[in-house]
Amino acid sequence: MPRFEPFPALRYDTARVDLDQVVAPPYDVLSDEDRARFAERDEHNIVHVDLPVAPDGGDPYDAAATVLARWRSEGILTLDPSPSYTLYRMRFTDDLGHARQTVGVLGALEVVDVGAGDVLPHERTTPKAATDRLDLTRATDANLSPIWGLSLAPGLTELLTEPGEPLGAVTDDDGVVHEVERVSDPARTVAISAAVGAAPVLIADGHHRYEVSRRYRDERRAATAAAPGPYDLTLAYVGELVEDQLSVAPIHRLLDGLPSDGSWPGVLEPFFELEPDGPPDAALGARLVELGALALVDRDGRATLLRPRAEAFAGIRDLDSARLEHALAGVPHEMRYQHGVENVRQAWAKGGAQAAVLIRPVSVAEIERTAREHLLMPPKSTFFTPKLRTGLLVRLLD
């Protein structure tokens, strides 16, 4: 079972900075415009390290390392005197208008080889160059953004419910409140470590970050004659895999490279019942669950409901991503991914795709089945929300 350990965290000194102004979303959901906006908020915003821009065209990774070292020397970032866990709570309103509160724990999760151990992927990953994150890790010797793990350990949430030492709270641009609390009591840290280590952990978000951690670990082992070190683990947020602790949104599909004669939607008819619908709006995504359908949106902005024909998907996972993958298997196409109906609409307005398919969120039951049966979903099947903030703590690897 996976090791999960406390560690001395590097944290912003909240007497020196406003925590709201220095944290940011994870790097992989930030556009260039987003990055610039966060960088302008405060000269100490974490994007200056997590998404570095070198002055005068220099090496951005060296620049990140320089900034991180300067913030430490100036006392902007301070290191905890002893190892601890960090409870991470989020309070938010979900897409259905329900007030929600979740809790997980930040710690150091074991890095295991592919196919070994009990840290499990939950979906196939799309090809992505890992050089950027690997170069940044090499330069800074730090984990900046956590992976998101789901634990099959029953009762983990109850173990995390009791408050720890308050460290601060931030409210993001979507109104989500992120609160962190330190847990350093030896009895409680032992209990958390034992609970997470008693069951497999499913990687919900951050597969590429975990792969970078594996590559970095292998490099450090090669350089140190396989001596153990902090690089054997990586920064992770771990929450219990239960319904009330998860908010799962869909990741919709943008399609290009389709046959230009306009006939390709006909190949969907053996798999789906097609029913014309009105123009897609923000409410359509939520309605799809009630309607039991996906939705095809063409370049003219018209939506067609796609109701799966049960007989056409015998043996196919209970996932819209898997259904669509199966239905398009014989159709030339290129697929891209976008969360949020409004983001899809904006891509549309810019002529960003030939067509789109809006899909429904994956059920927690299917996510649990994936973990327990060691299965893999198609790429980009789940979008876990709200997104964790980067900058609430940093884990050093040196």
Considering the domain architecture, whether residues 140 and 208 belong to the same structural domain is answered as: yes
Residue 386: is the preceding peptide bond cis (ω within 30°)? yes
> 327 and 391 share a domain?
no
Q: Rounded to two decimals, what is the model's pTM?
A: 0.88
Residues 227 and 268 in one domain: no
- Give the residues across from 355 on adjacent strands: 255
Tell me what pLDDT residue 52 has: 96
Amino acid at position 156, single letter: L
Q: How far is CA 51 from the centre of its chain?
A: 17
Containing 189, the helix (H) or strand (E) segment is helix 186-196
For residue 302, what are the domain limits?
Answer: 251-360
The reply to whether 345 and 216 lie within a common domain is no
pLDDT at residue 385, rounded to an integer: 87
Number of domains in the chain: 2
Same-domain pairing of 300 and 217: no
Is the domain of 34 the same as that of 164? yes
Backbone phi, psi, residue 213, to 5°: -60, -35
**Per-residue pLDDT tens listing for the chain (398 residues):** 899 999 999 999 999 999 999 999 999 889 899 999 999 999 999 999 999 998 888 999 999 999 999 999 999 999 999 999 999 999 999 877 789 999 999 999 999 998 787 998 878 776 655 589 999 999 999 999 999 999 999 999 999 999 999 999 999 999 999 999 999 999 999 999 999 999 999 999 998 999 999 999 999 999 999 899 999 999 999 999 998 898 888 889 999 888 877 777 888 999 999 999 877 777 787 789 899 999 998 877 788 999 999 999 999 988 999 999 999 998 889 998 888 887 887 776 676 788 899 999 998 888 888 888 888 888 888 888 899 999 999 999 98
Rounded to whole angstroms, the Cα distance separating 21 from 18 reads 5
Name which of 26, 17, 33 is nearest 47 in CA terms: 26
On whether both 229 and 313 belong to a single domain, the answer is no
Report if residue 369 sits inside a domain: no
228 and 333 belong to one structural domain: no
The answer to the question of residue 377 being in a domain is no
Q: In terms of domains, do 167 and 299 share one?
A: no
Q: How far is CA 292 from the centre of its chain?
A: 26
pLDDT at residue 293 in the model? 96
- Distance, in Å, from the CA atom of 290 to the CA atom of 210, rounded to the nearest integer, reads 36
Domain match, 220 and 300 both: no
Examine residue 342 and state whether it is found in any structural domain, yes or no.
yes
Q: Does 51 map to a domain?
A: yes
Residue 340, domain CATH: 3.30.1760
